[in-house]
Structures are given as structure tokens and as C-alpha cells.
Amino acid sequence: MPHAILDALVTVLKDHSIAGSVNGRRKRQADIKLQIDPVRGQNLGPEGYALAITPNSITATANAQSGLFYAVQTLDQLILNHGNAVVSPTIRIRDWPRFRWRGIHLDVSRHFFPVDVVKRYISVAAHYKLNTFQWHLVDDEGWRLPIRHFPLLTASALCSANCGHYTDDQIRDVWGGPGFVDTKFMQPDLSRIARG
């Protein structure tokens, strides 16, 4: 099981102060089972899932890891805290996305955000099952993408109060971070800029 899915589940359990076992470990009040099963998950696609919640167990079944991740997000949205008691409905859900591409856009060329804010933005998007992040890094108001052959682009673009650019390592960190959101970049044709 990938760390991103287990990390998301542990966060949900901690946020709601739930004691239980994950995949049969440390039985206490309720079992939580996450399973990839193409036979049970048929017709759900790679991001769909089946979620069954009873008083004694929670079972999520999917065809792929992304489906399990979205099942955990649904579990988080269903749990209600009432004082020290955690209430969740007894329910069965079969859910899959209607559209393959569900995304958000962030234009940092016009208003620069630090990397931790960008990562939090992506995390919130994943919680609401948005799977594509389009990152607008360059425009005449700001050039946030460093180009080794043209270092003045990041230094001389128009700049408002929020100046700055990302390093190659910061871009790799956002682009290759854990989770189930695909990062797309909006950038101009660099060969055209080099000729012009």
C-alpha cells in the first residue's frame, strides 16, 4: 500500500480521534480494510471505489491506488465529531468520476505564492477529488520558471509587491510530490522566445 494512501488514512483517523486497525492490525473498536480488487471494483475505473461503512468495519475497495485515496477522502467527509463520539452513517457507496480531467488552476505569474502555499492548495484539491493542477508560471507580469540560458527573465519581468521565482528543486518538489494530483505547466514556446 503506498505511503500517500496510508498517510491520508492516518491523518483522517487522528483528525477525528478514531482508534481502530488498518488492514487487520491492532484490533480495537473497528476494522478498516483498504483493498485493491479488480473483480469487486469492476466498472469503477482507475479512480472509482466502493466504500462500505458499518458499526464494526469500514471497507474500501478499488481497482487502483487512486481509487483508495479518494475513498479515504470520502470517509473524511462523512465522519462527524460529536464531543468524544465519532458518528458515521451506515452506508454503501460506489463512486467514480464522471470526467477524467478535474482540475484547478493557479496563476503565480501575476501573484507569487510560496511553495508551502502551493502544496497546501494541491492538498486541498486532492481532498475534493480534483486530479489535475495547472500551474501558470510565466507571463509578462512575472517569470517564475528559471531558465539557465536566460537568467534575466526571472530578474527583469514586471513585478508587483509579490516578486520571486521558484528554484528548479522547488518546482521538482511540487511536481513530483506525493499524492494523486497531476501537475501541468502553462509555459510559452521557449524556442520562439530564444529567436525573438
Total domains present in the chain: 2
Do 89 and 153 have their domain in common?
Answer: no
Distance in Å from the first CA to the final CA of the chain: 50
Instruction: Write down the mean pLDDT value for the chain.
Output: 76
Residue where a domain terminates, one of 36, 61, 95: 95
Listed as own residue / partner, the contacts of 169-176 with beta carbons closer than 8 Å and 24 or more positions apart are: 170/115, 171/137, 171/145, 173/115, 173/119, 174/115, 174/118, 174/119, 174/122, 174/135
131-149 pLDDT, tens digit per residue, is 888 888 887 777 787 777 8
Residue 3 pLDDT grade (very low, low, confident, very high; cuts 50, 70, 90) = low
**CATH number of residue 25's parent domain:** 3.30.379.10
Do 109 and 86 have their domain in common?
Answer: no
Do 112 and 191 have their domain in common?
Answer: yes
Residue 134: give the domain boundaries.
103-195
Residue 17 pLDDT grade (very low, low, confident, very high; cuts 50, 70, 90) = low
Predicted local confidence at residue 2, as pLDDT:
59
Do 16 and 51 have their domain in common?
Answer: yes
Do 111 and 182 have their domain in common?
Answer: yes
Do 75 and 110 have their domain in common?
Answer: no
Residue of 26, 20, 32 lying closest to 60 (CA atoms): 32
Half-sphere exposure of 99 (CA within 13 A, CB side): 7
